[in-house]
Structure 1
Amino acid sequence: MKPFRIRLTIILMALIGISMTGAGITMAQLFKDSHISVLEENMSREIKLLSGTFSFMDTSSPDALNYYTEQAEKISSLTGSRVTFITKQGRVIGDSEKNPREMDNHSTREEELLAAKEGIGRAIRYSDTLDREMMYVAGSVSSAQGFDGYIRLSMGLDTVTEGLNRAWMIMAGGLVLLFIAATLVSYKVASSMTSPLEQITRVARRITDLDYDARVPMKRKDEIGQLATAINAMADSLQAQLKTIRDNEDLLQSVLDNMTGGIVMINAEGEIALLNRAAERLLDVKNSEMTGHSYKEIKHHYELTRLIDDGVSAGVPVHEERSIYNPVERIVRLDGVPMIQDGCSRGMLFLLQEVTEIRRLEKMRSEFVANVSHELKTPVAAVKGFAETLLGGGVTDEKTARSFLQIIYDENERLNRLIGDILELSKIESKRVQLECSPIHLIEFFDSVLETLSKVAEKKKITLSSDVPAELFIEGDEDKLRQIFMNLLSNAINYTQDGGNVRVTVVSIQKKDGTESVRFTVSDTGMGIPRKDLPRIFERFYRVDKARSRSSGGTGLGLSIVKHLVELHRGSINVESDLGIGSSFILELPLLQEENQ
């Protein structure tokens, strides 16, 4: 802004200088014209005075030339002017400066011509005789003494020029002083005009640099003050709008970052414009690395990339599922829609949702329904078959009839157990089961459980034993824990040959994070579980030895119920087994349950 201030000062100074110079020239011209006019009037009066008081001589007299020359010299010494006597015919008969005999005819001189017409004539011209600029004033004079001609007075303009030069000197000095004063005033005026503009410009630049807190501290009421007020109002409006935009951006970013589905936005040029966190995790890429690059660079998901390419190329909605491997197989549903604005395509927006778990649950549901149907069908078919035989009268032997009735009764019991386990598992999986926790003295708890199973173990001559610390307590739902260990111990007894051992071991564990837990180990010396079956034994209706499981009265849901009840207590369960040696089920439960559990 300072160069502008300097330019403005120079312009003001130039205007003042031009004005002062023009005024000076005008004043000088007026001074010169006024001075010449005064000289002319004085010389005219002198001519008139001479015409009335001068003693004229007849111009035809032989002494006329000498007489008029002498008189001209006398008058010149008195007036300080050059005096010339000229006849009507233009002949010079007397001059105070030069010999009349050597002077040419003056009949054509401008001042004589004007004097002949108007009585008084004036002319200013350069005199070759005197070698300077002269002013000539001639008056027409006619005398009874025999003079009929002109009296001409002339005076050099040196005095006028000298006066004019002195005036110019004085004026120049005044102009210099005035110019200096004008310079200071101009600079101050320019500063008063540009300083507020400089301040406004600085604030405008700060606003341009996104500093929306900048304001113009100005209270003026003039146009500049109104401009400052407008700048401040604009900054307030921009700040409010920017805050709204940032709040909306933060809200949108928060929504995108916390969406469970992946969002991929592809612009009209086929470049990735946006990837949210879910898409980054799903595709195993980084938003910072992929933004601005072609979607075709997602090369390690070929099937997905090809589906995106089909949607982008055709510009039509896409609704498909594809499997990706990252590193395990994951099923992804891709929904893509074209982004249309003002009739023009802006690219496509894709929503990626992992449906692996949904499809797994759907498969499990289908398998569950099929397994339930199969498990229910077996006892129902048995009951129906034996009942039809009895009703048909084909069995007359009472012992055989009672055998059939016992089978019907056993199958009915098995059916009841199966239905009960299905209902129990359904309640647990739907989170409708609430724990009623209380302190449990574990040694008393296992004494009770083992006593309940002792009769079954005695029939197979299986030894039941436990190793439980005498003073160890745990917080949990006693009924649910009883259900867990009754299932585990019953399975251990069922799958252990006669004369084997089943043992329960309990130890307290201190974890690194300071929390305490209790580890339970239910081990047997049974047939063991093949390694290939270990990952699936907690699945519903999964049996290692299907024939033996049914013969033992198992429903195939026991271990699945156990796993859910353990997880309900925020615990974990694992199994270790060797064929022909035995199996060990290892449970780890927290010593204390959370209050909201």
Structure 2
Amino acid sequence: MKRFRVRLTWIMIVMIGLSVTAAGLMMGKTYKDNHIAALEESMLREMMVINAHLDWSLADKPVEGQAYFSERANELKELTGARVTFIRKDGKVLGDSDSDPNGMDNHSGRKEVLEAEAEGSGRAIRHSETVGQNMLYVAVAADPGRLPSDLIRLSYSLESVEISVNKLWTVLIGGLILLFLLSAAVSYRVALGLTRPLEQITGAARRIKAMDYSVRVDIRSKDEIGELGTAINAMAEGLQVQMNRIQENETQLYSVLDNMTSGIVMINAGGRMVLFNRRAEEVLGFEHREMVGKHYSEVKQQYELSQFIQQGIDNQEPMHDEITFYFPEERLLELNLVPVYASDDRYGGALLVLHDVSAIRRLERMRSEFVANVSHELKTPVTAIKGFAETLLGGAVHDPVMSQQFMQIIYDESERLNRLIGDILELSKVESRRVPLQLSPVDLTAFLRRSIEVMEPEAAKKGIALEAVIADGIFLEADEDRLRQIVINLLQNGINYTPEGGQVAVSASLAVREDGLETVRIRISDTGIGIPKKDLPRIFERFYRVDKARSRVSGGTGLGLSIVKHLVELHKGTITVDSTVGVGTSFILELPVIQP
């Protein structure tokens, strides 16, 4: 833009200079021509006056005529200041104010003489060798009615005219230089006024090209450039609004994609991955920057995945499948591949949606197992009750001893059935979070001692010692009934799986978690049979039993630890287990002192 401004300035200066120079040339020429024309007019008038007072009859007398005309020439020069020459019709000089007529050439061939003999008057401008100056010669016929005629010629030096013209040129050149400087300043100012808005518009256009839509052009003129600036501003404002809207939509889109629970992979028509959300990274075990731009076949994953994508792209039809992946961990993925088309109905690639259905399938399996276990657990006491009832109905009722024994079995099985149904209902309520906690301060020391007292008769039957190591003054916020249910279940579990003469110990102390939360740590340990390591991850599952025979003898339902785990979680606590086969088991509860 600066180069354009300089070029525009120089163009304006040259145009102004040429115009002024042309005007000066015309003015100088007009001044000179007018000056010479006025001088010529004056000389004609003077010669007419001179001609009226001459005696041309002496022109044919050589001696007398030469003396007469020479004398007249000298007198007239003193009066007019011009060189005066008298010329006979044959061109011979009769008298001259500046030279001897006898030494002068014949003037019949001079331009002004020829014109005067032909038209009555003539003029010529030439350099005079005699005086060494440019001279204006004007000749006039003495008798215009009879041509050729004797002639009078006046000549003036043009030195004064040339001096005047030179002065004029000096003034013109000085004025031209001053005008050049002034025109340069004005031209630069005008060029700046034209180019500065264009510079702003150009700069704004570059910034808009660079996606900076906040730029505005500050042009207040009302001309075409002002209208252009207004249009640029309106365009930038419109683009800024559109880009803000696009960025908001893009941010929302990426936010939705990154927070989706399904993995999303977009594959273009060439098989290259162009979109890879966060969930897809977690499911496939690769980062976004590693995958985007690469061909799907470069993904070092299941061979079945590449085949599935290839088949979907080839067929350009929706596809569905489930594949077990073993990297980064074993999981079952549900794959849905749908073709994507551009606005012109041209095939644009495929969208792969990945769902991790491992948990769903596991829950379905657990549900099936739960139904099977419930059916089995319910069927066992019902079968026993039905069988002994049929035996009694068949006549055994008349045997008092057998009748009493069978009635006791029916009663025990009905109690077991009642406990099972009660535990199932309890677990259902706890799992569905339909058990509101009635929180209140609990004196844990007194609470645990009362719970031990409740279990002492049952422990005494097996000769099991119940010990308590509980610090005084421990309080926590909890639902006392639910907390008693937790502790009783764990104590019951320890007594059931501890051989006769064993020991069950309860301890409680205050602790602080890594996050700074103050907790109460309750440990219930036994010297029982222990739990194998392979069974530890599943002991809190419903109906799961480590020793099924012992569970049935003890009358357990297999739901106690599941209920305990859910009640602990309702109290925002944790429960862990540590066990060694043949040594014993310890359950560790951590409950917050104050419920969050």
* TM-score normalised by the chain length of structure 2: 0.85
2:285–2:328 contact (8 Å) kept in structure 1: no
Deviations 1:425-464 (A, max 9, x none): 1111111112112233334434443444444334434334
Match of 1:19 in 2: 19
Matches for 1:161-176 after TM superposition, within 5 Å? 161-176=162-177
Between the aligned partners of 1:241 and 1:391, the Cα distance in structure 2 is: 88
1:456/1:175 CA distance change after superposition, 3 Å: closer
1:23 partner amino acid:
A
Deviation at 1:24, TM superposition (A): 0.8
Q: 2 CA distance for matches of 1:145 and 1:539? A: 155
1:561 alignment partner in structure 2: 563
Q: 2:42 aligns to what?
A: 42
- Give the match for residue 51 of structure 2: 51
RMSD, matched Cα: 3.8
Cα shift at 1:27: 0.7
What is the Cα deviation at residue 133 of structure 1?
A: 5.3
Residue 77 to residue 270, structure 1, CA distance change in 2 (3 Å): same
Residue aligning to 1:277: 278
Q: How many residues align?
A: 591
Cα distance change on mapping 1:76 and 1:306 into 2, 3 Å = farther
**How far off its partner does 1:25 sit?**
0.4
Q: Distance in 1 between matches of 2:471 and 2:145?
A: 174
Which residue does the alignment assign to 2:510?
508
Q: Which residue of 1 aligns with 2:29?
A: 29
- Structure 2 stretches of 5 or more lacking a match? none
2:426 maps to what in 1?
A: 424
Q: Contact 2:489/2:561 (CA < 8 Å) preserved in 1?
A: yes
Alignment of 1:540 onto 2:542:
yes
Aligned equivalent of 2:581: 579
- When residues 550 and 22 of structure 1 are mapped into structure 2, their CA distance, relative to the original with a 3 A threshold, is same
Q: Is 1:363 matched up with 2:365?
A: yes
Name the SS of the counterpart of 2:66 in structure 1.
helix
Classify the secondary structure of the residue corresponding to 1:319. Answer: strand
* Structure 1 position 56, deviation (Å): 0.9
**Are residues 52 and 296 of structure 1, via their aligned partners in 2, closer, same or farther at CA, if it must alter by over 3 Å?**
same
Deviation at 1:538, TM superposition (A): 1.7
The DSSP-based 3-state class of the residue aligned with 1:27 is helix
Q: Deviations over 1:352-383 (max 9, x none)?
A: 33222222111111211222222223333333
Measured against aligned partners, the alpha-carbon deviations of 1:295-345 in whole angstroms (never above 9, x if no partner) come to 444325554455445445554434333333344312233333333222234
Change (3 A) 1:472 1:82: same
Query: How far apart in 2 are the matches of 1:145 and 1:592?
Result: 149
Which 10-residue stretch deviates more, 202-211 or 251-260?
202-211
1:388-399 to 2 correspondence within 5 Å? 388-391=390-393, 397-399=399-401
Correspondence 1:67-216 to 2 at 5 A: 70=70, 73-74=73-74, 77-78=77-78, 79=80, 80-87=82-89, 90-94=90-94, 96=96, 97=99, 99=101, 103-104=105-106, 106=108, 111-112=112-113, 114-116=115-117, 118-124=119-125, 134-142=135-143, 148-155=149-156, 157-194=158-195
Alpha-carbon distance between aligned partners in 1 of 2:412 and 2:23, rounded to the nearest angstrom: 136
What is the CA–CA distance in structure 2 between the aligned matches of 1:196 and 1:321, rounded to whole Å? 65
Displacement of 1:55: 0.3
What CA distance in whole angstroms lies between the structure 1 residues aligned with 2:132 and 2:422?
Answer: 149
Partner AA of 1:141 in structure 2: A
Give the Cα–Cα distance (whole angstroms) in 2 for the partners of residues 62 and 505 of structure 1.
172
Q: Mean Cα displacement is larger for which, 452-461 or 128-137?
A: 128-137
Q: Deviations over 1:404-436 (max 9, x none)?
A: 444333333322222222221111111111211
Q: What is the CA distance between 1:475 and its match in structure 2? A: 2.6
**What are the equivalent positions in structure 2 for 1:439-450 lying under 5 Å apart?**
439-450=441-452
SS in 2 for 1:348: strand
* Structure-2 separation of matches of 1:68 and 1:407: 189
Q: 2:75 & 2:148 partners in 1: Cα distance?
A: 17
Distance in 1 (CA, whole Å) between partners of 2:146 and 2:418 is: 178
Shift of 1:22: 0.8
Contact 1:577–1:583 (Cα < 8 Å) also in 2: yes
Q: Is the contact between residue 93 and residue 107 of structure 2 (CA under 8 Å) also seen in structure 1?
A: no
Instruction: Check the 8 A contact 2:66/2:95 in 1, yes or no.
Output: no
What are the Cα deviations for residues 89-143 of structure 1, in whole angstroms up to 9, with x where unaligned? x44353525757874573x765455445543333445678888755443333339
1:412 lines up with 2:414 in the alignment: yes
Select 2:377's aligned residue among 361, 369, 375: 375
SS of the residue 1:439 aligns to: strand
Identity %: 51
Deviation at 1:515, TM superposition (A): 3.5
- Whichever residue aligns with residue 260 of structure 2, its letter is M
| C-alpha distance in 1 between matches for 2:70 and 2:46 | 18
CA contact (8 A) 2:59 2:88 kept: no
1:21 Cα deviation after fit:
0.7
Pick closer, same or farther for the CA change 1:526–1:177 going to 2, 3 Å: closer
Is 2:266–2:350's contact at 8 Å kept on the other side of the alignment? yes
Any idea what SS the aligned residue of 1:142 has? coil
What amino acid does structure 2 have at the position aligned with 1:173? G
Shift of 1:63: 4.4
Aligned partner of 2:483 in structure 1 is 481
What amino acid maps onto 2:502 in structure 1?
A: G
Aligned-partner Cα distance in 2 for 1:147–1:252: 113
Any conservation in 1 of the 2:116–2:122 contact (CA below 8 Å)?
A: yes
Q: What corresponds to 2:465 in structure 1? A: 463
In structure 1, what residue type is equivalent to 2:380? T
Q: Deviations over 1:493-521 (max 9, x none)?
A: 33333343333333333445543333333
Cα distance in 1 between the residues matched to 2:142 and 2:63: 20
Give SS of 2:152's match: strand
AA partner of residue 584 (structure 2) = G
Using the TM superposition, name which of 35-44 and 440-449 deviates more: 440-449
Q: Does the CA contact (< 8 Å) of 2:396 and 2:402 recur in 1?
A: no
8 A contact 1:428–1:565 mirrored in 2:
yes
**Higher mean displacement: 473-482 or 270-279:** 270-279
Tell me, yes or no, if structure 1 residue 338 matches structure 2 residue 339: yes
Which one-letter code corresponds to 2:256 in the other structure? V
**TM-score, length-scaled by structure 1:** 0.85
- Report the Cα distance in structure 2 between the residues aligned to 1:305 and 1:64, rounded to whole angstroms: 139
Mark the CA change 1:159 to 1:380 in structure 2 (over 3 Å): closer, same or farther: same
Q: Which whole-Å CA distance do the structure 2 matches of 1:122 and 1:529 have between them? A: 146
